[in-house]
Structure 1
Amino acid sequence: MDRRQAEADRWRTEGNRRGVSGTPELRGAYNFSAGPATLPRPVARRVREELAAHAGDGASIIEISHKHPRFRGVLDTAVALYREVTGLPEEHHVLFVHGGARMQCAAVPLNLIGRSPTRTAGYVVTGLFAQQAQREGARYGTAAIVAGSRDTGFDRIPEVTARHCPPDAAFLHLTSNNTVYGTRWNDFPRDCPAPLVADATSDILSRRLDHGRFGIVYAGFQKNLGPSSMALVTVRDDLLGHALPETPRLLDYSVYAASGSLDNTPNTFAVFVLSLTLEWIRDQGGLAAVERTNLAKARLLYEELDRTAFYRPTAHPDHRSVTNIVFRLADESLTGEFLARAQAEGFLGLAGHRLVGGVRASVYNGMPQEGVQALADFLREFARERG
């Protein structure tokens, strides 16, 4: 056995002993954090194994140039797989953009608002991140709030039709899933004169999406795509080339499209993990199969929450998120005890967002069915004991 093989075997053995995180694995622990979130276990294993296989030669995929043919192959594979699993139309580009979804709150108006002679855009405000997008858009023009659900505590998705959209709007922005309050769009606006732009960070690749209805779809990596810090952006070809003169080079979508997202060094590790995640989705049977699984997981929890008045889901039943299940205990004085017990029993990341409190179970693609079933069993037992 040569030195490099011996070193690789040592790292692989150490990784198996200590787990992906470098700390002893918690058997039976499930991470329901809103993000960064659980990777599918097969993907996490592949990451560990493929990095360990190159530990001896110092040339793992995250240690080579982003211009190296080997990384270019990973990048091209990720783009091809994304097109395959989503059915992305040919006229839409796939970009890997710095800064995550929050950066796209600025990038979208910088790239599109110049299409409007009055620098006007429409925003549907359905929660915290939709508010942040609207406020950022207002830095570059008129960010008109065309509809929202603030008056009902962001518990639903408002009706939006063509009449809501300003006639001179450069785009209409919406957030496809509300991570904080636990709602999602089940049917998107139709016949709007402006191109639709969707922040799909918390439900990207959790369900089928007709990209042909959107001018831009963007998503931070950290929910269903891979590690945080990058955003995947799909943009229709006719929406390129309208950036405001003050747009920074690394926020100009035309630069990313022309360079294949390689004008500057991208997060090569994130793209590598994305390529493995897309392979995993394809091998599950594609997005139709993934969507069925996610609906079944959410149904398990909602059925348990609706079974008793002990729990109170916060979202209107017709608008409930499949990926972020938000609820309160009827007796809110028990919330601290509930969270402490859940943590002790291996259910991690269940505390609600700091702005709303309560409990939130984020059930992204990486959460296995057995984890959801275990949480449903815990919900029932806690209600039996304390109800």
Structure 2
Amino acid sequence: MFFNRIKSGQITIEVSALMPEKILNVLWNNGIYTCKVVKINLTTIRFNIAFEDYNETEMLIKKQKLKMKVIGKSGMIVLLLNLKRRMSLVIGAGVFFLVIYCLSNYIWAIDIQTKNNLSPFEVRQQLTAVGIKPGLKKSQINVYDIERKLEDLNDQIMWIRVRIQGSTLKLVIEEKVNPPSTEKTLPNSVVAKMDGEIKRVYTTSGNAAVVPGDIVKTGDVLILPVQGREGFEKEVKPSGTVIANTFYEKFMEIQISGDKLERTGKKDGDIYLNIFGKKIYLKKAINRFESYDKIEEKNGIFNKVIYFEKKGKPVNVDKESAIKEASDKLKESLGKTLSNNAKIIDNKATVEDIGEGKILVRVIFTVEQDIANNIS
């Protein structure tokens, strides 16, 4: 009884013929029940049949060489068929995201960042030797164990950090670098750690090798490892302070006229899946911005690209004020990098017009500081 109710349903059909009533007789003679018969015009008739009689009705109408079209459907069976089609879509989407989730539990790429002496190829071979390669499950990877094993395998590694980012295993390696030999220096001498003009020399041990006014280069000897007058020298460990004027150059680009591009606050973006190097877009931006900043956020499989709109805003700045402000900012920036005993005593600014309403402010700072470096 229940299944008969589910199968029940009706289909509304329109038939066009010179004598449309004839098809009703054909259907009745074949045991097909019709209801709600309506004559639309002289050549068209509309009626309802049971859902289960549709195939036989279609065959009989085609046999009579008449034209027909389905106007509507109703009943439980029709609803179930529609749900079945949509359910297939839902199941398909569910399977898709399930596959993506399963793939995201594995490592599919290895990113190795080294410096100059150690090649990523060599590190990759050592990773393979300890059983780490693409396609490995994340739960099988112990990043601290990998760090320890690679440090044991390669004596060129000074420091290593291994982390999992998305579906990528990322390695950042610092290498051991032997300090360069300084050929210009003598053993146990005090040398200049930067170029400068000597202002004052204070020695606590050893003889001064320079006098105020001398120009020295990096590595030049400032205090000798001997003390006493000629003929009465003795070897000592030199030490002291050598004050010199040193020079730093900094520059800044400033726009004083024309249009300056600034963010408007509007943005758009792409969202895509990166599967084995292929991009599958879940959302594609309609990028209609004439000028924009582009920022890409990579996180393994799920990635984003964000576009920030930029528009030109008129700029009209007093040139002298802009130069002074730039000089102050550059001085403040330099001060943060100097030691506590260093003192900025002078600065000279030059300005270069680089076009499009922009200028390049270049400032040379004179800094008085201790340039002595004890070499032992």
Q: TM over 0.5: same fold?
A: no
Higher RCO, Cα 8 Å, sep 6+: 1
Structure with greater Cα Rg:
2
> What is the TM-score with the length of structure 1 in the denominator?
0.18
Higher relative helix content: 1
